[in-house]
């Protein structure tokens, strides 16, 4: 299972570390982390740059329960004071859960806009090479957003530098299994 983390208010690095720690406190084990990326905002551009990363996690819970927990973590860490699409202290999104396709009023997996966002796909590709190929059928019409090449994404730190949790390679992804779609 993969989650994306983002922050562009306050101490961005500490916000991401705090969100990762809050996941672990709730029984969501961080298996691996991508490097840390500094990225330009997408959509509402009049806001500070983000720090973004992707975590591979194990969570012995349903996707709706996981969503409730990550939304709690976002709120505890300051949330989105200016609303959706604007600057935030912590943003945690559920990206993928193996080959699971899930849709409810509150959650869609795979994340419906992840293939349009370099700040998601570049760190995710560090952990799961070929994710775009495996989920190519899920790409929106026209493939990527028109500003794909203009999305500024710069790797600024290794996983071990930004996250105090040891990186462990090759661990099974819990209950979600393979990323190969059905």
CB atoms within 10 A of CB 6: 24
Is 29 strand, coil or helix?
strand
Q: Phi first, then psi: what are they for 161, rounded to 5°?
A: -75, -40
Tell me the mean pLDDT in the region 48-70: 91
10-24, 28-42, 121-135, 143-157: least confidently modelled range: 143-157
Give the residue among 87, 70, 93, 80 at the shortest CA–CA distance from 22.
70
Higher per-residue confidence, 112 vs 19: 19
Domains and CATH numbers, the chain: 2-167 (3.30.70.560)
pLDDT at 42 over 60: yes
pLDDT the model gives residue 179: 43
CA distance 151 to 86: 16
Positive or negative, the Cα torsion across 131, 181, 54, 90?
positive
Whether this prediction's pTM lies above 0.85 is answered by: no
* Nearest residue to 67 via CA among 36, 39, 43, 97: 97
Cα separation of the two ends of the chain: 16
Which of the two residues, 53 and 170, has the higher pLDDT score?
A: 53
Nearest to 167, CA basis, from 29, 20, 32: 32
pLDDT-derived band at 41 (thresholds 50, 70, 90) equals confident
Query: pLDDT tens digit string along 4-18?
Result: 999 999 999 999 999
Residue 30 has pLDDT above 50, yes or no: yes
pLDDT category at 134 given cuts 50, 70, 90 is low
Question: Could you tell me which residues come within 8 angstroms of residue 174 by beta carbon, excluding any fewer than 6 positions away?
Answer: 1, 57, 58, 59, 60
């Amino acid at each position: 299972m993969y989650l994306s983390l983002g922050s562009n208010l306050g101490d961005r690095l500490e916000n991401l570390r705090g969100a990762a720690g809050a996941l672990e406190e709730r029984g969501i084990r961080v298996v691996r982390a991508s490097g840390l990326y500094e990225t330009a905002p997408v959509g509402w551009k009049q806001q500070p740059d983000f720090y973004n990363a992707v975590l591979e996690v194990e969570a012995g819970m349903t996707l709706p329960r996981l969503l409730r927990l990550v939304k709690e973590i976002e709120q505890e860490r300051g949330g989105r004071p200016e609303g959706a699409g604007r600057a935030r202290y912590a943003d945690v999104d559920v990206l993928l859960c193996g080959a699971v396709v899930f849709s409810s009023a509150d959650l869609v997996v795979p994340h419906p806009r992840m293939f349009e966002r370099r700040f998601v796909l570049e760190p995710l590709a560090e952990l799961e090479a070929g994710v775009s190929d495996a989920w190519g059928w899920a790409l929106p019409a026209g493939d990527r957003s028109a500003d794909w090449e203009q999305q500024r994404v710069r790797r600024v730190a290794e996983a071990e530098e930004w996250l105090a949790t040891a990186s462990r390679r090759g661990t099974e992804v819990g209950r979600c299994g393979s990323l190969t779609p059905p």
